[in-house]
């Protein structure tokens, strides 16, 4: 049976990408961006609050969905589906949208004076740190699709091997809530292992496998639902502490940072699974509308927020609130309009990993 709350949590999570990426233009820790204004602690706090859990949640949901998918697909069919949904959008996005991001980065950070068409030669020949902030080759937000594909591929091998060795696997139903809490323990060990651009491949692999082997069982989901307020209290407290330590504290408490991050990551995910099961396990026209647009939204959003921030950089003066919120509103509008257009063009839907909208009969 399809878990509607997983689809709803996914599109809600993806919706955060525009305000999240817009806030990167104001970070307080000196990280470069495609366009950067100045440090702002209040806006940076938004990034720090959500960063521990909002991307890991997508990997946890993907791991849960993998069990449901493999219940009705062979391993081969699952891999083919992952290629269509992940690798094709990854290649399309990297080749079409990322050159635009790199061009803005080069213009903003290094005063590049050539045209965007001239810059394509720079994009495909300049290989540096793969962020694109210097105009070089990058994969932008599409790192997520690449990571998810590689993790899905590796996990299929792990799952197939474990099913062969442990043919009579016991389900995770007997695990108590305190046992679920213990899955936080390995998290800090993974943060700096196989980390690329601040994204830890090993951490996401672990979260994905926990989603598959533990969180995909109904009885575990019910326990997350039952104790959702405990998880939410711990998760919010850890998230607030993490914001203070990273953004507002004048000292670097790296051990406390790591502990706060781990607690925020795991308990906010547990809380969101529980809240999702309790409040979002339904399907209606609005949720269907948003779910169908999450794929093109993901592909298009970053280009629009960077372009609009670039266009408004010289017109909104030094007002941080305007430079943050006005581009967000415009980027939401532009992204959804373009998503509507793309969903009506089958070839673009194929390239973005989604299905086209069937025209309504009059």
pLDDT tens per residue, range 52-68: 999 999 999 999 999 99
Residue whose pair of structure tokens reads 């993806």 in the numeric block: 14
Strand partners, 106: none
Where do the H-state alpha helices sit in 173-227?
A: 177-181, 187-190, 201-210, 218-226
What is the rounded distance in angstroms from the CA atom of residue 200 to the CA atom of residue 287?
Answer: 31
For residue 357, is it within any domain? no
Residue 79: partners with Cβ closer than 8 Å, 6 or more residues away: 152, 153, 156
**Residue range(s) defining the domain that contains residue 293:** 4-351
What is the rounded distance in angstroms from the CA atom of residue 103 to the CA atom of residue 278?
Answer: 45
For residue 358, is it within any domain? no
Write out the two tokens for 104: 């803005």
For residue 339, is it within any domain? yes
For residue 68, is it within any domain? yes
For residue 282, is it within any domain? yes
| pLDDT average, residue stretch 6-23 | 96
112-148 confidence digits (pLDDT tens)? 999 999 999 999 999 988 888 999 999 999 999 999 9
Q: Is residue 169 scored above 70 in pLDDT?
A: no
For residue 90, is it within any domain? yes
Structural domains of the chain, count: 1
Residue 204: partners with Cβ closer than 8 Å, 6 or more residues away: 55, 56, 59, 147, 148, 151
173-194 confidence digits (pLDDT tens)? 678 899 999 999 999 999 888 8
For residue 359, is it within any domain? no
Reference 259, options 251, 267, 271, 249; nearest CA is: 267
Q: Report CA torsion sign: 148, 154, 158, 160.
A: positive
Reference 241, options 227, 260, 222, 258; nearest CA is: 260
DSSP code for 246? I
User: Among 83-92, 190-199, 321-330, where is mean pLDDT lowest?
Assistant: 190-199
Q: Report CA torsion sign: 107, 111, 116, 118.
A: negative
Strand partners, 199: 196
Helix or strand run (H / E) with residue 195? strand 195-196
Model confidence pTM above 0.85: yes
- Backbone φ and ψ of 203, nearest 5°: -65, -45
For residue 362, what pLDDT is reported?
Answer: 42
For residue 360, is it within any domain? no
């Amino acid at each position: 049976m399809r878990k509607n709350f997983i689809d709803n949590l996914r599109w809600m999570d993806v919706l955060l990408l525009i305000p999240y990426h817009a806030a990167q233009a104001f970070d307080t820790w000196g990280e470069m961006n495609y366009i950067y204004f100045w440090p702002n602690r209040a806006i940076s706090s938004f990034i720090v609050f959500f960063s521990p859990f909002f991307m890991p949640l997508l990997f946890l949901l993907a791991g849960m969905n993998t069990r449901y998918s493999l219940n009705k697909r062979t391993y081969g069919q699952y891999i083919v589906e992952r290629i269509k949904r992940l690798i094709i959008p990854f290649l399309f996005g990297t080749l079409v949208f990322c050159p635009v991001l790199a061009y803005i980065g080069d213009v903003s950070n290094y005063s590049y004076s050539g045209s965007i068409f001239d810059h394509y030669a720079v994009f495909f020949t300049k290989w540096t740190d793969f962020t694109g902030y210097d105009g070089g080759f990058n994969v932008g937000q599409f790192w997520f699709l690449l990571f998810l594909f590689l993790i899905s591929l590796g996990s299929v091998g792990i799952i197939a091997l474990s099913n062969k060795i442990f043919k009579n696997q016991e389900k995770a139903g007997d695990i108590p809530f305190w046992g679920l809490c213990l899955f936080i323990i390995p998290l800090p060990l993974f943060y700096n292992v196989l980390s690329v651009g601040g994204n830890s491949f090993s951490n996401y692999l672990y979260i994905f496998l926990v989603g598959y082997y533990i969180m995909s069982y109904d009885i575990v989901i019910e326990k997350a639902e039952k104790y959702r307020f405990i998880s939410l209290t711990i998760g919010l407290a850890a998230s607030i502490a993490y914001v203070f330590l990273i953004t507002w504290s004048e000292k670097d408490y790296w051990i406390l940072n790591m502990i706060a991050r781990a607690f925020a990551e795991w308990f906010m995910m547990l809380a969101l699974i529980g809240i999702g099961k309790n409040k979002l396990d339904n399907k209606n026209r609005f949720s269907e509308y948003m779910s169908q647009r999450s794929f093109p939204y993901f592909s298009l959003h970053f280009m629009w927020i960077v372009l609009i921030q670039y266009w408004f950089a010289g017109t909104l003066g030094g007002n941080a609130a305007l430079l943050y919120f006005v581009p967000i509103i415009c980027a939401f509008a532009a992204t959804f309009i373009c998503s509507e257009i793309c969903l009506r063009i089958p070839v673009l839907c194929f390239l973005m990993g989604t299905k086209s909208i069937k025209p309504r009969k009059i």
